[in-house]
Amino acid sequence: MKKLKNKDLQRITIKEFKRAKKTPITIVLDNVRSALNVGSVFRTADAFLIENIILCGITSTPPSKEIRKTALGATNSVNWSYEENTINALSKLKKDGYHIIGIEQVNKSLKLNNYTFQKKPIAIVLGNEINGVAENVINICEEVLEIPQYGTKHSLNVSVTTGIVIWEIWKKMQESN
């Protein structure tokens, strides 16, 4: 085995990324405090050709030194917008035919591994590092998924959660094609 160099990976350019067919997922960040987490979400969105990120409330927006540090340029490829109010952002997405999925631990959540992909665009809502997705936001989600966890901690970092959720849903999308 030989480790590949960046030139061997044959990645697309930003221009090609902008023209490429996107994965029909929008990531909605509900009051995420850490700009480093936001940057990591951008990088995951770039990796999976995610169509859009909506940054809501206190969530940092580009340009930001901390976002740049972890995004490594993904803010230039991934489409994003800012919406002050998460409810307003989700209402627009719902009106546009998106299936709204909260990622949170609630009494009626579905384990991520049991999720069945519905052939429609998805909006995934992820929340604040301490308080999670706001209760009023959870109430307008059509379903809520959670990642099964078996250790002593109650949650995962929001950027780690994003990577796991996107990967699982992306795989289910590929299987349904």
Q: Mind listing the pLDDT tens digit for each residue in 121-137?
A: 999 999 999 999 999 99
Which structure tokens are listed for 127?
Answer: 């929340």
Q: Into how many domains does the chain fold? A: 1
Question: Does 21 fall in a domain?
Answer: no
Look up the domain containing 75 and give its range.
27-147+156-176
Question: Does 22 fall in a domain?
Answer: no
pLDDT in tens, 29-61: 999 999 999 999 999 999 999 999 999 999 999
Nearest to 14 by CA among 38, 42, 37: 42
Assign 76 a pLDDT band (cuts: 50, 70, 90): very high
Q: What's 97's domain CATH number? A: 3.40.1280.10
Cα 109 to Cα 73, 101, 104, 140, 169: the distances in Å are 34, 10, 7, 14, 16
* Confidence at residue 8, expressed as pLDDT on a 0 to 100 scale: 87
Question: Does 2 fall in a domain?
Answer: no
Question: Does 170 fall in a domain?
Answer: yes
Model-level pTM?
Answer: 0.95
* Confidence at residue 49, expressed as pLDDT on a 0 to 100 scale: 97
Question: Does 132 fall in a domain?
Answer: yes
Q: Which residue has the tokens 């340029």?
A: 73
Rounded Cα distance, 171 and 163, in Å: 12
